[in-house]
Amino acid sequence: MSNKLLLFLSAESFHSYLWVNKTLASEQHFVDTAEGREQFSQFLLTQPSTPTYLLTDFIEEDFRHETVPHLRGSERSGMLQRKFEQYYRNTPFRQALLLQRSNEGRRDEDVLFSALTNPTHFSPWLGILLANSIPLAGIYSVPNISAPLVKDINSDHLLLLSWEKHAGLRQTYFNHKRLHFSRLVSVNSSKPFGEVVATETARTEHYLDSLSLLPQGQVLDVVMVCHAKQRKEIENELKNTDAMHFSYLDIQTLGKKLNTTFDYVESDATPLFLHLLATKPPASQYASAEHKHFFNLLNFRRNLLGLSAALMLGSLIWGITNLWAGYSLNSNSESMHVEIQQLTQQTQKIIQNFPGTPGFSKALATASDMKTAVLLVRKLDQHSPSPQVILADLSMVLNVFPNIKVNKLAWHLNSIRSATASPEHVILLNGELQKWSGNYRDGLAYLEDFQQTLSKHGHVVTPIALPLDVSASGSIAINENIDKPAQFELKILWRPQP
């Protein structure tokens, strides 16, 4: 938590404290004289940018409870402004604290209007703060910062009593833990403190009763913040009645509970309230926007610095991330370059060791061309097999059919594109039956047998002409000369075996 400058101002005195490392320190007192104000001004020069909190404890602080309609925005602001003008026209130090809002009907609001009605007490000091451009965070009052002291006390109607050495006896009334009223009385040292407390407490109780803030027959719980040393003295004076019930909060115990490091040697609650101000400043306070201008500038400046730091940190992280990513990629690139070099060397080695063609220069043809040339010639050889290959099967079958005399034999590569990979050759066999007796049936059967045998050897045989065309579409001309040879012509399709 950063340092703070805490100022405590009452009708009788003006003190400053530094809040350093969660501790009150360096208390200074300034008298309300020209010299005192000059000393204060000089003191402020040593704290130019320290956030400053002004705590006031005046008798002239007025409280007015009112129920107002629930409004928003400019309507609400206008309504509150009219109320301020109505009740607190002569002071700029005023505030409206929302106590609660009804859940039914118009949802009216319970509002506590309060004001420091005598600004002449602190206007000079305030003027010095503004003249020195001190960042004033707010102007607070003891009643407004007392709520944390009562939050754990189980009472709906509570009167909190505290004594500030330089101000007096503060009596603050809480209704259902909400501030409703407060008054400060000077403590006359001529009377016992306990007696003063008893007297003033009774007055306050009557006042609350007169305002009907206490329900009929309601017992007011009065809680006194005091030191253990003084408790006995006070206890002797404060007796429980039908209207009031007294209890005590040990200031040292309270201090420890609030984690203060201050050593309370007496019942002065000023350090306690200053601790509350430093650690839990309430949102509501009396300073206007004009009074808080330098505090807002301080926050703006700090936000700019914070933003700058965040921006710098973010950009450094971004930059470092990019650099790291780049470094990783660079390492990767280097390993790639090494691999490229190795691959290139391997490639060169392979190329240098390419087998050369005997008797010829190594650079005569690429491997791809070699492969193309060899496969091409192989394919062409497939397309033009030797006569021996083409006629081998036919020759073998002809040996088994000696009556067939071949007069003409022709073959060529089939020009019709074949659906299969291997080419097809067309063999035209023109022959005649020898030793034919003129028996057409025997002759045709012989030829049929010949064709079947060729088919079994993988040939596709189509008769073009037979000795006698006995098909339904053929014409028949019988010649009485039986010596005429029985001629025939066959078309045989041959394909190389895979």
Question: Interaction with another protein in 350-409: which residues (CB under 8 A)?
Answer: 350-351, 353-355, 357-360, 364-374, 376-377, 379-381, 383-384, 386-388, 391, 395, 405-409
Beta carbon nearer to another protein, 78 or 319: 319
Ranges of beta strands (E only) in 102-149 are 109-116, 136-141
- In the Cβ-directed half-sphere of 62, how many Cα atoms lie within 13 Å? 15
Q: Give the number of residues in contact with another protein, rule: CB under 8 A.
A: 84
Beta carbon nearer to another protein, 46 or 388: 388
Calculate helix-pair angle for 440-456, 387-400, nearest 10 degrees.
Answer: 140
Token pair 């037979």 is found at: 466
Among positions 74, 90, 210, 415, the unique one binding another protein when judged by CB under 8 A:
415
Structure tokens at 188: 């006359």
Beta carbon nearer to another protein, 263 or 290: 290
Residue numbers 55-114 binding another protein by CB under 8 A? none
Structure tokens at 351: 């190329």
Residue 26's SS3 state is strand
* Rounded least distance, CB 142 to another protein, Å: 28
* Rounded least distance, CB 416 to another protein, Å: 9
Q: Which stretch binds another protein (CB under 8 A): 201-209, 235-243, 277-285, 315-323?
A: 315-323
Beta carbon nearer to another protein, 100 or 347: 347
Beta carbon nearer to another protein, 189 or 361: 361
Beta carbon nearer to another protein, 326 or 438: 326
Spatial separation of the C-alpha atoms in residues 295 and 284, rounded to whole Å: 16
Among positions 206, 232, 257, 337, the unique one binding another protein when judged by CB under 8 A:
337
Residue 406's SS3 state is strand
For the chain, how far is it from start to end, CA to CA, in angstroms? 96
Tell me the per-residue interface mask from 242 to 281 with another protein, x by CB under 8 A, - otherwise. ----------------------------------------
Ranges of beta strands (E only) in 242-350 are 244-250
Spatial separation of the C-alpha atoms in residues 323 and 107, rounded to whole Å: 60
Residue numbers 132-151 binding another protein by CB under 8 A? 133
* Rounded least distance, CB 307 to another protein, Å: 6
Among positions 81, 100, 347, 471, the unique one binding another protein when judged by CB under 8 A:
347
Token pair 């402004």 is found at: 81
Among positions 31, 98, 211, 336, the unique one binding another protein when judged by CB under 8 A:
336
Structure tokens at 31: 């008298």
Beta carbon nearer to another protein, 99 or 365: 365
Residue numbers 191-250 binding another protein by CB under 8 A? none
332 touching another protein, by CB under 8 A: yes
Spatial separation of the C-alpha atoms in residues 406 and 431, rounded to whole Å: 4
* Helix (H), strand (E) counts: the chain: 12, 17
Instruction: Please name the residues in contact with 159: beta carbons below 8 A apart, sequence gap of 6 or more.
Output: 171, 172, 173, 174, 201, 204, 205, 208, 220, 221, 222, 223, 244
